[in-house]
Amino acid sequence: MEEFSIKTKQNDDISILELEGYLDAHTSVELEKCFEKIISEKKFKIIVNFEKLSYISSAGLGVFMAFIESARNNAGDIKLCAMSDKIYNIFDMLGFPILFEIYKEEKTAIEKFS
Amino acid sequence: MFKSSTKNLSLLRNFIEEKAEAFGFDESSINQIILSVDEACTNIIKHAHKYNEKENIEVDIDSNKNQFIIKLSYKGQAFDPNNISSPDMKEYFNKFKVGGLGVPIMKKFMNKIEFSHLNPDMNSLTLIKNL
């Protein structure tokens, strides 16, 4: 089975999730739990780093949609960064850049929170 | 034949990748086919089989000249993606909707989608991509 993992790190009040591997209807449950935990800890400034993510299906996209409103309603946001062209094309094709801020570098995403 | 479980999506993707590559598609088209089949099977697992892992999805690959044809046969509730209109994405984002993007992805990436309800308890969903 193809693997999926999430590394979380904290940069002041910003939670950064580094995704690795394959994000589909099976593995998206893990990402959903991770978001639930972060939001329950009242951490609403979230950055998702896609650098090591090889694959995403709509089940993965659904996780970001499920938590963006909660983050924004609490003076936070979910900002996305470091996507490969392959991953970005999926987000772009469906119009996700209308709702989500997507940056090339994690550093820029962090700066946008300050 | 695959057991109807999201655990098997990775196996399914590997199978489709191998066949699409052998047919001669470039990397971008292969990725589009893999994602479309993943979305189709996820919908079957979720909606037709309600995550019942005892159900199966039969995957047959066929070709006709320049057409790469993936036929998914499964029991359960009939669902024709052609009857689903794609969401208005502006409204989708305004209302923070979740789900319902599998069909738009399939329609965008495949050249043709055919659905048939073969007998009272057997459905066939065919995804076609031109080389």
Whole-angstrom distance, CA of residue B36 vs CA of residue A16: 30
Sketch out chain A's domains with CATH numbers.
Answer: 4-113 (3.30.750.24)
In this predicted model, what pLDDT tens digit does every residue of A85-95 receive, in sequence order?
999 999 999 99
CB nearest to A57's CB, from B38, B90, B104: B38
Any idea what the CATH number is for the domain that residue B68 is in? Answer: 3.30.565.10
Q: Is A90 on the interface with B (CB under 8 A)?
A: yes
How far off is chain B from A69, nearest CA to CA, in Å? Answer: 7
Res. B119 pLDDT band, cuts 50 70 90: confident
- Which residue range forms the structural domain that includes residue B113? 2-130
The two structure tokens encoding residue A23: 């994000």
Residue B111 phi, psi (nearest 5): -80, -30
Helix, strand, coil content of chain B in percent (nearest 5): 45, 25, 30
B104 interaction partners in chain A (CB closer than 8 Å): 94
Instruction: Read off φ and ψ for residue B89, nearest 5 degrees.
Output: -70, -25
Look at A58 and B13 and tell me if their CB atoms are within 8 Å: no
- Cβ atoms of A106 and A49 closer than 8 Å: yes
| Chain B residues touching A95 at Cβ < 8 A | 89-90, 92-93
What ipTM did this prediction achieve? 0.94
For the entire predicted model, the pTM comes to: 0.94
Question: What is the tally of structural domains in chain B?
Answer: 1
d(CA A63, CA A53): 15
Interface contact A61, partner B, CB < 8 A:
yes
pLDDT digits (tens, 9 = 90+) for B12-50: 999 999 999 999 999 999 999 999 999 999 999 999 999
Q: Are B99 and B92 in contact (CB under 8 A)?
A: no
Smallest CA–CA distance from B44 into chain A, residue: A25
Q: Following DSSP, what letter does each residue of B50-67 receive, concatenated?
A: TT-TT-EEEEEEEEETTE
